[in-house]
Structure 1
């Protein structure tokens, strides 16, 4: 049984189904953050790379293009997303990447195997983050590095506040338990990574828009599906009211670059001594 059993069930169930269906849109959504994250990773041509929570493989494939003479391994617990990642690698002709279904918190990574561990929004859902990053650190060579992209607090996430308000969700995701915001507080990030044996931890702010679709109708199809789990038990009239409000909110955020909302991330960097 996975140490992150609840996450395994979700990502191989309803959550994974939605992410698999909209894999390209999720990549497009965070594209404005992705380039700065990869720049911070600074992957060299012969480095060995581990991508944690690789999902449908976009970060792994970009890492494999940078590490053209080095091996790249993407790990995730979501079988459906890994299938997309493997298909993308074949379609793109990228041969130096492999994808494995594994729980990064407990998987026995080869000691000191990797020059760099990267994770784009894939490191916030560990049941025991100290244990997870300790396990990952054992796989990093001395002097190697860990580079993460995580969300900042909800006060910096217009998209999250807007969608929660429309759906009537009053409580923000926890910052001290598995959630999109579990690594949103720099002090907590420093404590977790320090306890895992990593050093020289830096947390750098980055701000960019989140993209949801070419226009309000396009975005609505995506976000309504994404929010469907919040509305499953509602009366039809309440569901219709929320969906109408959602469409109005998306229309209000439509501009020349499509439907966008303000968002902010941390680029976290650390080193194994």
Structure 2
């Protein structure tokens, strides 16, 4: 993972995800459910890549039961501190590793399932990362990941940026195939990564998931998450108010009966050792 991504997830982005953990877990619950449904019935040792604050790792541990062994790996110290606290609170057997999955020395052939919910798009060398993950997988192990499709197919995800563009001219551009939220937007790019890193039976299918959260949480989501949220951390109060007003207008098409509703346009990515 690049030093820029590491710094971001160790700092502002990591702390923001911890602060909004409940909102994000509720919003992405349908995607977590789909991942859990895809787990092999005989899975006993599972790795969750880019596990963040641990929701999917803990869900997998519940599903695998007392004989299962679930491990989450993430670069973010703040997010893993939250994950470990949640595991202790729920008396989960899940464990967490703070490291870059691209470089971590996993025990070879130790996992029979590898999963990720929006956690694999940030590697600076994705071929090396998935080669490393393949070495950690047992013969016959499955890989199941959900990643974002393109920004154009996910207008909700860029609504805050579009609304605030004139107020925050320093917003960074979205660069295709670069590490970040939409780093796996190109299906052919993802296919090539998995082929070059030695995975087989690769299956990449579009997946559209209905997501929602309470309208009362919209301002917090629009002004704290993503590139806009990171820039607003150092902005003056006047700019924050202006961006908040503009962002709310930009999200107006998604508000319905007290809920914010949108479709998450994703790739459902599967492969096998």
- Normalization by structure 2: what TM-score? 0.90
Q: 2:214 matched to which residue of 1?
A: 214
Whole-Å separation in 2 of the counterparts to 1:109 and 1:198: 17
| Equivalent residue for 1:98, pick from 95, 99, 104 | 95
Query: Within 5 A, what are the aligned runs for 1:38-77?
Result: 38-40=36-38, 42-44=39-41, 46-68=43-65, 69-77=67-75
Aligned: 1:185 with 2:183: no
Whole-Å separation in 2 of the counterparts to 1:24 and 1:237: 28
Q: CA contact under 8 A between 2:72 and 2:95: conserved in structure 1?
A: yes
CA offsets 1:37-79 (integer angstroms, 9 cap, x no match): 2222x24355210111111111101111121112111111111
Query: Within 5 A, what are the aligned runs for 1:132-143?
Result: 132-143=129-140
Q: 2:106 matched to which residue of 1?
A: 109
Q: Report deviation, 1:182.
A: 1.0
Q: CA contact under 8 A between 1:44 and 1:66: conserved in structure 2?
A: no
Aligned: 1:199 with 2:200: yes
CA offsets 1:80-112 (integer angstroms, 9 cap, x no match): 1111111111222222x1111111000011111
Q: CA contact under 8 A between 1:33 and 1:265: conserved in structure 2?
A: no
Whole-Å separation in 1 of the counterparts to 2:237 and 2:78: 31
CA offsets 1:13-52 (integer angstroms, 9 cap, x no match): 1111111111111112222222222222x24355210111
Q: CA contact under 8 A between 2:222 and 2:248: conserved in structure 1?
A: no
Q: CA contact under 8 A between 2:211 and 2:262: conserved in structure 1?
A: yes
Query: Within 5 A, what are the aligned runs for 1:22-37?
Result: 22-37=20-35
| Equivalent residue for 2:126, pick from 113, 126, 129 | 129
Aligned: 1:225 with 2:224: yes
Q: Report deviation, 1:261.
A: 2.3
Whole-Å separation in 2 of the counterparts to 1:206 and 1:262: 10
CA 1:172–1:36 in structure 2 vs 1: closer, same or farther (change >3 Å)?
farther
Uncovered stretches (5+) of structure 2, i.e. residues with no partner: none
Q: CA contact under 8 A between 1:158 and 1:263: conserved in structure 2?
A: no
Uncovered stretches (5+) of structure 1, i.e. residues with no partner: none
- Normalization by structure 1: what TM-score? 0.90
**What value does the CA root-mean-square deviation take over the aligned residues?**
2.0
Whole-Å separation in 1 of the counterparts to 2:112 and 2:258: 37
Q: Report deviation, 1:271.
A: 0.6
